């Protein structure tokens, strides 16, 4: 079969199953109010900007000042000439915030996962992952060449049964907060299992940092896990931090090792230094906590009103900014998303393969920047479109 045939068949199959993915162009965005390409104004409940920092004036001012100081691009990889004092200061501030010896910046969370996992394990080693882990962790496992098993979601008992004895080093990787469900991983149980088997636990806390824990330190802090219990802590900067990039935090040797071995760190251009300056401003808001208090008030309000407005079983059990509403059927999830859009709300319909078959859902995400009336109006619209 030619490439042309292959491409056409794949696209036709996806169309027929309501699985064709398409982008929606946004022409203006103040963080919560979006203007779509067709002129429609909608309130967004679909971004990962949980603290409203992506449009925060302090972060924007630091970004502008950073451009005045450093220019728009970093010009090279970190190991060449791209590592600025701004990047370095951000790494030190992240390490200080998390109470870990060192932190290392990556250009994206996807690359942080690929680079870290493929640096730590290889052929002859073992990787265990939660079945619902983010795609970047699954891809990292494939790239590493290690033997790779997925345990039942949030099930430390299933992990224990699979761990047994094995050759080589063993890494256990989990999302701290699961990106499509919003639940928190059972980190203390996973850490105990890891320690009992001489394995290392790696936590991808893309949706936990900024949202959970003292000073927004994330799911490890929420569960009281230190560096010994979870030696590898990865967090992203494009979500609650409102900028872009990612970090891995751990002890000094781990970070020095990654600088030698993590290819997606070594062979890519450093983030713009100005972005590091913007992210330093984000970090001070993350640590401060006022925005997190607002976010959690919004989460509580949404859950209380949703439980009253929608059938039981729809609102999934999540204490975080990710509040999925279970639909089941792909076409119905899409139709509900469209109906909400007509009502002025952007909520993403999530379908397989991002989530297991038969569990299509609307993924509502909340932000500190949402107002109470915006949340109340979303609930009223949900109640209307659901019936
Ligand atoms: C978003 C996300 C990533 C990828 O981070 P990017 O910086 O967007 O590349 C990795 N892991 C999880 C759990 C995520 O949600």
Cα-only R_g, the chain: 21
| Residues belonging to the active site | 179, 207, 239
353 prior amide bond cis, ω within 30 = yes
Judged on CB neighbours under 10 Å (0-12, 13-18, 19+), 327 is buried
Query: How much is the average pLDDT of 34-56?
Result: 96
Q: Is the pLDDT of residue 281 over 80?
A: yes
User: How far, in Å, CA of 281 to CA of 35, rounded?
Assistant: 27
Weakest-pLDDT range from 2-6, 184-188, 290-294, 350-354: 350-354
Asked whether 106 lines ligand 1 (CB < 6 A), one says: no
Query: How much is the average pLDDT of 287-298?
Result: 98
Which two three-digit tokens encode residue 359?
């569990």
Q: Give the Å distance between the CA of 386 and the centre of ligand 1.
A: 30
Q: What is the pLDDT of residue 234?
A: 98
Q: What is the pLDDT of residue 329?
A: 93
Q: What is the pLDDT of residue 21?
A: 85
Q: What is the pLDDT of residue 265?
A: 98
Asked whether 107 lines ligand 1 (CB < 6 A), one says: no
Per residue in 83-104, pLDDT (tens digit) is: 999 999 999 999 999 999 999 9
Q: Domain 22-50+289-386: which topology?
A: 3.90.1150
Q: Give the Å distance between the CA of 240 and the centre of ligand 1.
A: 11
Q: Is the pLDDT of residue 19 over 90?
A: no
Alpha helix segments (H runs only) across 17-55: none
Looking at ligand 1, which atom is closest to the CA of residue 237?
7
Percent of the chain predicted with pLDDT > 90 = 95
Asked whether 365 lines ligand 1 (CB < 6 A), one says: no
Domain boundaries, the chain: 22-50+289-386, 59-287
Q: Which residue has the tokens 């600025």?
A: 84
Q: Does domain 59-287 sit in CATH 3.40.50.720? A: no
In terms of Cα–Cα distance, which of 205, 211, 41, 24 is closest to 113?
A: 205
Q: Which residue has the tokens 């590493």?
A: 144
Which two three-digit tokens encode residue 301?
């309000």
Asked whether 321 lines ligand 1 (CB < 6 A), one says: no
Per residue in 21-38, pLDDT (tens digit) is: 889 899 999 989 999 999
Q: What is the pLDDT of residue 380?
A: 98
Q: Give the Å distance between the CA of 17 and the centre of ligand 1.
A: 27
Q: Is the pTM of this model over 0.85?
A: yes
Task: Please give the DSSP secondary-structure letter assigned to residue 81.
Answer: I
Phi, psi (deg, nearest 5) at residue 317: -85, 90
């Amino acid at each position: 079969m030619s490439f042309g045939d292959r491409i056409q068949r794949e696209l036709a199959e996806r169309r027929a199953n309501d699985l064709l993915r398409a982008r929606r162009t946004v022409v203006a965005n103040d963080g919560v109010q979006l203007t779509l390409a067709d002129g429609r104004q909608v309130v967004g409940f679909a971004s990962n900007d949980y603290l409203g920092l992506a449009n925060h004036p302090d972060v924007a001012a630091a970004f502008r000042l950073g451009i005045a100081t450093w220019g728009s691009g970093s010009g090279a990889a970190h190991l060449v000439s791209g590592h600025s004092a701004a990047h370095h200061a951000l790494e030190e501030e992240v390490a200080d915030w998390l109470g870990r010896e060192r932190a290392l910046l990556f250009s994206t969370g996807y690359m942080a996962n690929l680079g870290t996992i493929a640096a730590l394990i290889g052929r002859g080693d073992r990787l265990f992952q939660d079945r619902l882990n983010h795609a970047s962790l699954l891809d990292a496992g494939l790239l590493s060449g290690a033997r790779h098993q997925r345990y039942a979601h949030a099930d430390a008992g299933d992990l224990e049964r699979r761990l047994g004895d094995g050759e080589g080093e063993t890494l256990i990787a989990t999302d701290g907060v699961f990106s499509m469900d919003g639940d928190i991983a059972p980190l203390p149980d996973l850490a105990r299992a890891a320690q009992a088997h001489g394995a290392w636990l790696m936590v991808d806390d893309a949706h936990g940092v900024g949202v959970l824990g003292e000073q927004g330190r994330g799911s490890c802090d929420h569960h009281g896990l230190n560096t010994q219990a979870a030696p590898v802590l990865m967090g992203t900067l494009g979500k609650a931090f409102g900028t872009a990039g990612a970090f891995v935090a751990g002890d000094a040797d781990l970070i020095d090792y990654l600088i030698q071995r993590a290819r997606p760190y070594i062979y890519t251009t450093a983030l713009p230094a100005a972005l590091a300056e913007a992210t330093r401003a984000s970090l001070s808001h993350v640590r401060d906590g006022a925005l997190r208090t607002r976010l959690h008030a919004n989460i509580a309000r949404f859950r209380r009103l949703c439980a009253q407005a929608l059938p039981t079983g729809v609102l999934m059990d999540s204490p975080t900014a990710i509040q999925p509403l279970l639909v089941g059927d792909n076409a119905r999830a899409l139709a509900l998303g469209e109906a909400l859009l007509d009502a002025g709300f952007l909520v993403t319909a999530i379908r397989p393969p991002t989530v297991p078959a038969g569990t299509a859902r609307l993924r509502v995400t909340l932000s500190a920047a949402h107002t109470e009336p915006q949340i109340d109006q979303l609930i009223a619209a949900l109640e209307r479109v659901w019936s």
